[in-house]
Structures are given as C-alpha cells and as structure tokens.
Amino acid sequence: MRILVTGGAGFIGSHVAEAYRNAGHHVAVADVVSGADRTPSGIRCHRVDVASEALRAVFDEERPEVVSHHAAQANVRRSLADPVGDAATNVLGTLRVLDLSVRHAVRQVIFSSTAGALYGEPKAVPVREDDPILPASPYGLHKYLGEQYMAYYRRTHGLNTTVLRYGNVYGPRQDPATEAGVVAIFAEAMLGGRRPVIFGDGAQVRDFVYVADVADVNLRVLGRTLPQPLHVGSGRGTSVNEIAERLRALTGAAPAPDHGPAVPGEVHRIYLDVSRIREALGWQARVPLEEGLRRTVEWFARRGD
C-alpha cells in the first residue's frame, strides 16, 4: 500500500512511518522540516508545509492510497500565544490534506487528534468519546475543527476518514524544545543536571501512552471503516509529580524540580475511557509506564552522549 505520512519527520509521525515501512508498505513523508535525524531510513521526506499549495506536487508524485495526517502545531501554550498561527497549520493544513485526498482518489485519511485538550476540564473521569467537547485552548478547538472536516468529507465525498484521539504520547525522538512533552522535557533536563520546572502544583493528571503503542494503532486501522473517534491511551491517570519522581529515580537526578505558575488553558485532571478502541480493534496499550519511561531515558542518554 502507498502511504503518505504528513508530519512524518516529527515525533509521533516518524514512529508511525517506521511502523508502516516495517510492515512492508511504500511510505513517503511530507514535513515542514527536513527530518534528517528522525525520518526512518529508506523513506523519502518531502520538505513542504501541508498548508501550502506545494503539497499538491507531493500528492502528484507519491500517488498515496492512504494519508496518515500527523502534521500539526502540537503545543498548547504556543496556540494560546499565537492562535492564528495554530489555525494555519491545524485547520488550513488539515483542509488542504482532505481536499487533495479527494482530488487524488485517496482511499483513507487517518487523523491524529487530541483527547487531552478536547474536553476542557471534565466533570468525571475516565472521559468517554461522547462526552461534551469544551476545549480550553485554540489547539484543542482547532483539532476539533479538524475532526469536523473529517466528518464533512466523509459525508459529502464518501472519503473513509479515521479519527484517533491521542492521550499524552511520550517516548524516544520527542523534541523537548518544540513538542511540549513533559516526559521529554524532564528527562533531558535531569540528564543534563538541570532542575525542570513543574507548572502549577504538579497534581495535574494525564493519560500517558507510549509511542510504539500509538504506532501499533495506526497499523491496525489501515483499511478499516471506523466512523466514530477512538481514544488512544492507557486508560489510567498519572500525575506530573509522579512522572517527575519516576524520572528522578531513572536518571539519578538529585535535586527536586522547581515549580512555576500554572498555565492558563491547561486541563488539571483527565484520563481516557479506552473501551471503544478495545472493542473495535482488540487493542490496548502494552508498554507499562515504568518500561516506557526507562526506554525514553535510555534514548535521551544515548543522544546526550
């Protein structure tokens, strides 16, 4: 199968592209960065902004049967500071991908959405896919608009669209400077002998899911018709304080993290009901948190060396 992974030079996208390649598919990547250090070997990377007209040439050349759309501005804080820039990538980029997919007779578009930023502060946890959508940031709002465009193109053009709502994905290759993952930020700082900053009291709860498990979901949905959004998470909540303590033990970091002011627009407590994806795909997260953190720390340690 010919698959185009947008954002395939990024953290999650590179793992997804690698999983597709390892399964024997012909894979190409479209990303705004060159991706020399994260695009898996044997996969061509087209340096292009998905919101630009230049994406058309990539579709013309690669003739994808499936598009895995992972290109995104993925930083909640950045979306609060620059909502227009966030919309340019997360709304207009998604619309460009869908328009070209219809024009090039793509069979399926898989969309990486968010769970952590979609529901606002939930009244109860675990959150279900049918719970009210109340995003507290432009990032969450724009991801939901992307979901609505997926549904529109399914209804009006018959395009097979699949929406995956990710929890807090962590693992090797995450960039602490741009992708805002707390595990990556803490691991790099602790290995470098620096004190990471916990924004707020650290009691914030998230659903952490290892990136290899996320890549596995992207393999399983190929060719499937799944009209309802699916949560991709562990189904368990873990506090930021607990993440920090586990990483201190794994890195041997002596000083405790500093604390800073809480960030407006960030949810305090959320984790996901994953029963729908278990029933639809027979999937559940397989990598335990302790093992995933260990692998992540080892990767950052090797990169530092």
> What residues are labeled active site?
139
What's the rounded Cα separation, in Å, for the pair 44 and 161?
24
List CB contacts of 134: < 8 A, sequence separation 6 or more.
119, 120, 121
Alpha carbon of 139 to those of 19, 26, 68, 197: distances in Å? 27, 31, 19, 22
* Amino acid letter for position 123: K
Half-sphere exposure of 144 (CA within 13 A, CB side): 17
* Amino acid letter for position 147: E
* Amino acid letter for position 64: P
* Amino acid letter for position 186: F
Kindly report the CA angle at 229 between 226 and 232, in degrees rounded to 5? Answer: 105
* Amino acid letter for position 259: H
What's the rounded Cα separation, in Å, for the pair 6 and 114?
16
What's the rounded Cα separation, in Å, for the pair 204 and 168?
12
Q: Are residues 34 and 58 in contact, defined by beta-carbon separation less than 8 angstroms?
A: no
Strand partners, 259: 198
Q: What is the SS3 string spanning 246-282?
A: HHHHHHCCCCCCEEECCCCCCCCECCECCHHHHHHHC
